[in-house]
Amino acid sequence: MLGTTLTRDVILPNILAAACLCGLAAAEDPKVEPGGPLDATASRGVTARDPSMIVREGDTFWCFYTGRGVASLHSKDLVTWERGPRVLENPPEWISNDVPKNDGVYWAPDILKVGEQYLLYYSVSSFGAMHSAIGLATTPTLDPENPAFKWTDHGPVVQSRDGGDFNAIDPAIFQDEDGKLWMSFGSQWSGLKLIELDPKTGKRLKPDEPMTPLAAGQSIEAAYIYKRKGFYYLFLNRGNCCAGNKSTYHIKVGRSEDIKGPYIAKDDSLMIDGGGTMVLDMKIGPFTGPGHAGIIEKDGKSWFSCHFEADERMGGKATLGVMPITWSDDGWPQVAPPEGK
């Protein structure tokens, strides 16, 4: 167990029991009008926790998030979002054997189009334990009206077990210019890891190869790697999640010239030693607890996505955030969401 540290692994059951996790229909969400232009407000007015990076197919944006069977949202403009279909209507057979305590709610998915397939990775776990797995599902299209639309599950990609030193949840996918495919992941214990994947299968390229440690320190999870101008940027969460407006979740970043690190903060501290440069602090106006970073381009601008553990305007529920991101002259990300009203 994690001692006195409150994390998603420990207190998420209470949130599920309170029905304020993300598996709620959009029609049931408290209404928060986005208010016009995309950069007019940070909150999108829809309940979502642990969002994937946002991907675009045609004229539609898609985001996947924690929920039963992996829940989805779609939007034409990144402002107005509607609920989409679940990825997995029925639990894959392997889960009952490999993670028998899982209850059908899959956490913190991530998605990327690789070749002609969308690869979606999702976390399968039970609360307060490191007996976990990251599964893979694929589809040739995200459009449920397309005849080719069909999610196919491919089983576990990486697993962790009680007695080990890492937790196989919170996958984040990155493909480099050379075509190499990588997954960063991890939560608590010894921190975040990096493994290389086979772009043809989506599974580990070399299963026996040691994992690369990326970052460590207390209360750490939710990795996301982004590349810009020769630097790899590692965004991650520190603090405690899943406590509503009492959450201490916040997002930090470091960068490296090598995807394997070392990742270094602006003050030269090492992320493997607990360092990091603040991106979004734990409290921003009516928003508390930003988590699970992502970046997408639209109309020549970059947008930063995450959830907020609590939005006061939505009755304290977790909400999807989409905000402008800019870069300082010395190459550090700047996300400054308006305070909202």
Active-site annotation, residues: 50, 221
Judge whether 185 and 169 are in contact, CB under 8 Å. Answer: yes
Give the residue from 236, 184, 176 showing the smallest Cα distance to 213: 184
User: From residue 300, how far is each of 296, 297, 326 by CA, in Å?
Assistant: 10, 6, 12
User: From residue 161, how far is each of 99, 164, 171, 339 by CA, in Å?
Assistant: 9, 6, 16, 42
- Tokens, residue 314: 């939505």
Beta-carbon contacts of 48 under 8 Å, excluding residues fewer than 6 positions away, are 22, 63, 65, 66, 71, 73, 307, 318, 319, 320
CA distance 110 to 270: 26
DSSP notation for 197-218: E-TTTSSBSSTTSPPEEEE-SS
Judge whether 154 and 134 are in contact, CB under 8 Å. Answer: no
Cis ω before 262 (30° cut-off from 0): yes
Give the residue from 145, 87, 141 showing the smallest Cα distance to 117: 141
